[in-house]
């Protein structure tokens, strides 16, 4: 057996999740700081996280304003200054990227592989992510739940993203996400899937190991016979 014979044909486009793949998870210190800013009882970060996540899907899907979301988390309406403080700290938890993943995506993009971001994110964070250099450099398009009005794993989220790739056959598109339920929903629509578990080598294998059919237009120097 040779490595060439084992190499699967690479997908023609990628739909990729943000947090947990490109974006790094918040640190414990970040959660503690946000809980402190929310004036949560000291040492009760776990219960703060429960309150944080309970209304998050509604927030991510655009159904709650910043004020309405934080009112649900806190149990009362924060003032304008407090709301901005909370939103800024919340946003800061989700904007750190993994350089190893970005490097692989840059190399994949350089081969001409189209990539579309599909992220569950509230409106403010969506705008921040959309303004980053990596978003504009790497992504042909970026779809955010707050703008779509629905979250993964709703099937329509994947259908919008597939349309954005410009490819009609889902079997030619690879969906990457760190959540298994999101991958399962994508697979049910016929997309190829990679359940990302934090190993950049898995991404490299899928995105950089081009098969014979797709390597010629991008990798062979012009004027050579190779």
Residues at the interface with Mg ion (CB under 5 A): 17, 19-20, 178
Query: How many other C-beta atoms lie within 10 A of the C-beta of residue 173?
Result: 26
∠147-186-61 over CA atoms, to 5°?
20
| Cα distance between residue 181 and residue 117, in whole Å | 17
| Cα distance between residue 150 and residue 2, in whole Å | 44
Minimum distance from residue 27 beta carbon to Mg ion (Å) = 16
Compare residues 47 and 199 and give the one whose CB is closer to Mg ion: 199
Minimum distance from residue 92 beta carbon to Mg ion (Å) = 17
Kindly state the tokens that stand for 27. Answer: 């640190």
The helix or strand, by DSSP H or E, that contains position 88, with its residue range, turns out to be: helix 80-92
Closest residue to Mg ion in the complex (CB): 20
Compare residues 60 and 210 and give the one whose CB is closer to Mg ion: 60
Minimum distance from residue 162 beta carbon to Mg ion (Å) = 18
Minimum distance from residue 220 beta carbon to Mg ion (Å) = 35
The secondary structure of residue 143, as a DSSP letter, is E
Compare residues 98 and 178 and give the one whose CB is closer to Mg ion: 178
Compare residues 143 and 210 and give the one whose CB is closer to Mg ion: 143
Backbone angles phi, psi at 50, to 5 degrees: -60, -45
């Amino acid at each position: 057996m040779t490595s060439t014979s084992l190499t699967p044909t690479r997908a023609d486009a990628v739909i990729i999740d943000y947090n947990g793949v490109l974006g790094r998870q918040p640190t414990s210190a970040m959660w503690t700081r946000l809980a402190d800013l929310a004036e949560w009882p000291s040492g009760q970060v776990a219960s703060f996280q429960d309150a944080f996540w309970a209304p998050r899907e509604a927030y991510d899907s655009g159904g709650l304003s910043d004020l309405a979301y934080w009112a649900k988390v806190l149990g009362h309406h924060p003032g304008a200054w407090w709301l901005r403080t909370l939103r800024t700290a919340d946003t800061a938890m989700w904007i750190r990227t993994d350089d190893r993943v970005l490097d692989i995506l840059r190399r994949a993009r350089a081969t001409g592989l189209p990539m579309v971001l599909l992220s569950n994110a509230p409106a403010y964070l969506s705008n921040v992510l959309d303004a980053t250099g990596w978003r504009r450099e790497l992504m042909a398009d970026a779809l955010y739940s707050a703008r779509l009005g629905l979250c993964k794993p709703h099937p329509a989220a994947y259908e919008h993203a597939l349309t954005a790739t410009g490819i009609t056959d889902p079997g030619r598109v690879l969906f990457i996400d760190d959540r298994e339920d999101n991958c399962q929903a994508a697979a049910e629509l016929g997309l190829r899937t990679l359940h990302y578990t934090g190993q950049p080598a898995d991404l490299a294998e899928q995105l950089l190991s081009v098969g014979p059919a797709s390597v010629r237009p991008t990798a062979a120097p012009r004027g050579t016979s190779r």
